[in-house]
Structure 1
């Protein structure tokens, strides 16, 4: 997974082409996400480093070209943990791609077995008596979002691989701790050391970059876990959390040489110093210059970064972040100067953060204030929203899921009420939504280095639905409302079946005529043309012959989000089904439609 640096362009390109397979048996995981092994182990990851300002103020999810993770990155991970997945049997996909998940009828659990992160959680050393590898461990300030992930997912094992600009990763294993609300579920934390950096000899305390352990899939019917004898209070739930007492490592091997403090003498604790102030003991070597005369914190070479290091603020080599000449640079309003590429959401300026923006501050000072941005817990389409209509979900992959909408336009249980309607006989109605699991406002706002696997799975779902409709005498019409509103939304594409008797020209004429009545215009795009949007809102229709119709929204000119449904219900001869709220069914009928669709779609589903 990604660590503390941007990934090179060739690696990102390889990821985009193969959905993760870099070479034989080497796979790059997403910046965040979840996979489930064939044995049922749930493994989640969160790559990148934590910066509070970037985390809270990032306008878009952080891709591989950024070393940081944002709130959207964490939201994607938590959304994935709400799903239950199994390994696909498809022989046409790579091993990584075969981890696409299939939604189960039972309510999903957020519990995971293994969590991999580059960043440390806050308070991990609290309430622990395990000896720390150094006085400045952990090397980075803890990340609150990582701690929140742990509270939500309660991993059985958590592995951290990160260091910082001045410290290499170091091995440290914490005592286990338990979750009282999960029948005594046990969690274990391990910080892994840096590969190849002074591995220990055959005897003595080791600084390991590897860790071997046994784990079996969680069995909810099994007896509660037995409390480990060395378990500590839970540092993520205890009320009075304090940092544990630090002490140097003991040498467990009598007389064996210690890799850091020199030769031992039984179980006697080793002194770090020779008795002289600021002088290391025998056998110690500075990890930067390998000198035995000073500690790493006193190393004169500490001020110089290693070859290949690039400052994360100015993207220039030759100095650490702490010494960056533009670290304290100010923007046009006197606040901190934004990083390169940042754009204020309130006024579009690149010269200040939104919290320093006079337009944003003026808006906040007004009585009403700007529209509140939709959060995942409020979004109808985020899987992390506990109120999402999970009973309507009919398929879920690694990047997207397919769901029936509430109040779909195709009548099912009351189809006899529309004798004049031209409704295709697709099981469950057939009107569905393809929704990216991650929260993006539109498909066009997905970061370029993260969009290929999402677009690939979306197109595979489109192809599968086309074959599914064709088997029932229908063809697909898909459309997306790409509205760049202040509140934001969740990108999705609607697809509905329409009889094969409709030609693409007739369908296009229906959209164009309705648009003219609303003062709107459409442009044609050929099937091979690249998708474009820029910073404009749009409404895009995919015709059965592969051509596309696009309407570009204009500032201040209203455009109905129900425009696509409005056109299709008129073409199908049932205009009274324009308002989805008037078409809502009972949950029992919705479940029956979803089950009917899933059973018929199963042999076409690309995730199976």
Structure 2
């Protein structure tokens, strides 16, 4: 029997407007049915007179739902939180300065009260790097830790808007806490709620794993809520249903929403965990999904093949030597050099042996690399340059091109993507679409050729096996000369 989801409400800064909040909750429950829990982030108490609170504290009024709140964010409201975690009034519970609240349902809620402080002694309404570190250690030290259901903080996490939808008037590079960003990175909450900025912002969900390099994990939804009863009528209550992750099917848990983005805090955790200033993450290119293989480095190369960036350029990472004879390493005696049609600094073009067409070419690194994910940045840059140039070249001739790589039972890269050592098949269309298949068992070695040679595409099924359609060396030399001449106007190695 499927687990019944819990129905939860989250609220932003209440600021002492208890009647406004609880009357609204009653109206919602009357219309939509009862909820299991109300979670309040930001300032629960405000600068308003205590008369309204006294009615709840003495039992004259009662919250209509079990309500959990965070602690003080300023000196003025510290007086309401005398103990670290306690019942403030009937149905209203102060969770404490930091910790984990696990309900009978198994729902795990992590809370961190206060605002960030990097200086000792830390005020009672703030949290320090030590607080965040201890919370992280408590939760993440076990080998089976996968994340938490909900994270409650008052401040926004810094940089939360990176890769995401616009956050309105809030500059997420300046606003919020880097320590909260670090905590969210490590805890991987399914939902993260914050407040204090008096606005509503529901960020697009983001990934908690690196695509193709790590196993899929659940996504995180960050929601910032406005203050209760605000005159602009910005959203301050958020309703959602959730099944505790410990009760969910693993495959269902890691399903990715269609609008999921990259993690905005990637590479931030280490600096924040020790309280150091954090540099803003670089905005990555649209193809970041494929490990920034299309990220432009802005490098120029002279006709001598040297880097013009500085008189003492950083030496590129050297490729490992091939384990044995390789047909594709340019310095190898096994290479049929008459098929080479263009040579760059790090890569070269060669006609395919037994090609599907007269201008069927391979992009190959000069050094020995098994797959694209093992390439150095310099080689990646040139691979991308060749890809873009070839697309322009074929487009000028009224043709289209498809790029594919098989990293399976191959010793030398012949084009593209995944974590090092992973077997895969990758296709890149000239429309920008990218197709990736991870190979787990056996896989047809000629799959790419067979698909392209099929009747549905090129209609040359007799060429599905390159060994059955090889040309003589003289014919290959003629085809190579013809391609070199046609490609010359597009040859970027002559221009730089």
Structure ID, larger Rg:
2
The question of a shared fold, defined as TM-score above 0.5 by the shorter chain, is answered with no
Q: Which one has the bigger strand percentage? A: 2
TM-score normalised by the chain length of structure 1: 0.30
